[in-house]
Structure 1
């Protein structure tokens, strides 16, 4: 897949890899809306009879949401009060403590016409059924990855399930994730294995999805204009968080050791020499 060529877009990626920033950038394109982790979709996965049914329900939900936006009905999303999407869920205090920036409100979202690009972002949920989503004629799929060391370092700072070696949203439809989470491996080993499982999945679907590095977006945010053939209507602050001062970079060597041991797919995508 060379471009985002369908008007319904799945945005996914490794947790804390820049998918929230990517969602904000897509939402800032002309005649485009991109929603960040629509909470109502989580129930589709919890009640899943089978993956085929989940994909069908997601397609129906995209159609329903599209109609609501066209009819100017309010949509729940994570945005600032003025309607500008968040670029990062995490706030850092002066002492390095983190707080999740929820900001879930209802908004009227403006589009130019009914053929607007509608994207929605979920990390664990969508990736758990990505092979089936990639086969759908309904969706284009964009997956975001980020260098493993700053990604895993960020997992140590956030109060998310991944900081404890779990991704509950993926466990309904992805047995391999559940197997890692329930193992007796040390926490850091679990996290490295989870990171690599995401990489393995994306690499296996590389001919059917768009796989994009966070670092490439930082270098040239215009890459999303090229992929969608749309121009930005709003400026979004793009900040590099790979060198975040709140990360404990003293853990880098230990993470490298486990990546070399347990993450062969990550090593095909990134060099560890950068950290």
Structure 2
């Protein structure tokens, strides 16, 4: 294994490809990546001290690592057969996309006790990213995706972010709270949220691994290169930026707002059609 740390924080812009990225990390030999541990959400909801929450996350890695070594079941969100999910929402019901995930207890096979352990949360971990970096015990991966399909995905689902809120990050991220707690829920609010995530990742770009969803689709071997591990099976991916579930009638408005109000997003993405595909 490279100097990549064996405890990995997987985070990124919501609906930006973190579920897929967590699945790829989980698909490496001698690696496990949990998807949005629900018990951690309780900490982010109930504990208001950012250092205490950060400490809870640190201790949780030690606890989960021990339980996996002892072959004890871990609650996680996966497919029925235990394979990792690559997309939480792929079925439609009453005109809305619905979850296909299963939450249950799973055990994990590892090759040795020095296995890679990842956990994925989007707003949670990004909200306390400065404090996570200060611990110096994690390798941190942040995933971004082109703003047009990302924001269209937010609008296509019934999630907190679909209503312009991020309750698990707001208590610890003042700038986010100022945007999401505003009465303005126009398309501009979503653009501002997207840009703030980009700003946070770019400000720590020398300390984290900042990856684009589109680049991962083209080269999923990036996780092999980062970790020094190889995939258990061959990985083939498809780009979902042109999903039929998105309302592309909003695309031009999003691009115009990004061009005017999102300088950090423009450091990562152009607004032409080629950059979206």
TM-score normalised over the length of structure 2: 0.94
| Cα pair distance change 1:4/1:76, threshold 3 Å | farther
Is 1:102 matched with 2:101?
Answer: yes
1:37 equivalent in structure 2: 36
- For residues 74-118 of structure 1, the C-alpha deviation after alignment (integer angstroms, 9 at most, x for no partner) is 001111111101000002338752102231111011111110000
1:273 CA drift (Å)? 1.0
Aligned 8 A contact 1:24 1:236 in 2? no
Q: C-alpha separation between the residues in 1 aligned to 2:122 and 2:147?
A: 16
Partners of 2:261 and 2:183 in 1: CA distance: 15
In the alignment, structure 1 segments of 5+ residues that lack a partner are none
Q: Does the C-alpha gap of structure 1 residues 272 and 95 become closer, same or farther in structure 2, counting only changes over 3 Å?
A: farther
Asked if 1 retains the 8 angstrom alpha-carbon contact of 2:164 and 2:185, the reply is no
Counterparts of residues 105-254 of structure 1 (less than 5 Å):
105-254=104-253
Q: Which moved more, 1:170-179 or 1:145-154?
A: 170-179
The equivalent of 2:261 in structure 1 is 262
Residues 94 and 41 of structure 1, relative CA distance in 2, 3 Å threshold: closer
Separation in 2, partners of 1:236, 1:161: 31
Q: Alignment partner of 1:239: what SS?
A: coil
Deviations 1:29-78 (A, max 9, x none): 01000000000111222232422222111110000000000000000111
The two structures have a TM-score, normalised by structure 1, of: 0.95
User: d(CA) in 1 for partners of 2:3 and 2:106?
Assistant: 25
Output the CA distance in 2 between the equivalents of 1:138 and 1:267: 31
Measure the CA separation in 1 of the matches of 2:103 and 2:3.
Answer: 27
Tell me by how many angstroms 1:236 deviates: 4.5
Q: Residues of 1 paired with 2:21 and 2:105: CA distance?
A: 21
Q: Counterpart of 1:78?
A: 77
State the aligned residue count.
Answer: 273
Q: Is the 8 A contact 2:91 2:100 kept in 1?
A: no
Alpha-carbon contact 1:14-1:124 (below 8 Å) kept? yes
Q: Please say if residues 163 and 185 of structure 2, whose CA atoms lie closer than 8 Å, have aligned partners that are also in contact.
A: no
